[in-house]
Amino acid sequence: MKTIAIVSGGIDSVTMLHHLVADKRYDVVCAVTMDYGQRHRREIDAAKHHADLLGVPHRIVDFGAFGASVGSALTDETVDVPYGHFESDIMKCTVVPNRNMVLIATAAAVAIATGAEAVAYAAHSGDHAIYPDCRPAFVDAMRQALMVADWQPIRLIAPFVDMDKTAIARIGLGLGIDYDTTWSCYEGGDTHCGKCGTCVERIEALEGAKCTK
């Protein structure tokens, strides 16, 4: 099945890309990264690195105007990034409004334009508490919408929607992914800050996924 993979460059989406390429049911024809005015470019570079590694064409869609229009802690230099865990209210301000619907709609447009049959994104259960657009109810509704939006039904694939980040990292380590070449930090530094919500989740997942035998 010709598939467009939405890849941000973090653990979840990079693992999904490797996972889909390894699964022969899928023919990943394009990895799409949305540039919505992130404060750092490391994430986009990481996405491109893994697409190149796997021989998957990589396309960046420029959503700078979108980021500028709606604003958020992720794109607005004046807003401090809160430290802590995703499951706390304080992290809500890191949410780009309606991000996954915009990303999925855009990737589906690329799918329709290129004759692909599916769009994949890396929603997972660790994000259910804080991001409504990572939950099964959202996936189900978007799946239905994508079946009727165009003459060509587009399938929505969310392979990790009932899986946590540690399980994702287990799959990735099994696939031999070098996670040092992924990027998840909300800060714009040269190395992962180790303190922001996404860094804390990243460390926990990689620690938890270590092979024990």
Does the protein bind a second copy through residue 151 (CB under 8 A)?
A: yes
Minimum CB distance to a second copy smaller for 133 or for 201: 133
88 binds a second copy (CB under 8 A): no
The reply on whether position 69 binds a second copy by CB under 8 A is yes
3-state helix, strand, coil in the chain (%, to 5): 45, 15, 40
Q: For a second copy, which residue of 93, 102, 129, 203 counts as binding (CB under 8 A)?
A: 102
**Could you tell me which residues come within 8 angstroms of residue 81 by beta carbon, excluding any fewer than 6 positions away?**
73, 94, 186, 187, 196
Is there binding between residue 40 and a second copy (CB under 8 A)? no
| Position 160 contacts a second copy (CB under 8 A) | no
If one asks whether residue 128 binds a second copy (CB under 8 A), the answer comes out as no
Closest CA to 44 of 5, 18, 8: 8
Q: Does 200 bind a second copy (CB under 8 A)?
A: no
CB 42 within 8 A of CB 205: no
Helices (H), 59-192: 64-70, 99-114, 136-148, 165-174
Residues that bind a second copy (CB under 8 A): 59, 61-66, 69-72, 92, 96-102, 104-106, 108-110, 112-113, 132-133, 135, 137-138, 141-142, 144-151
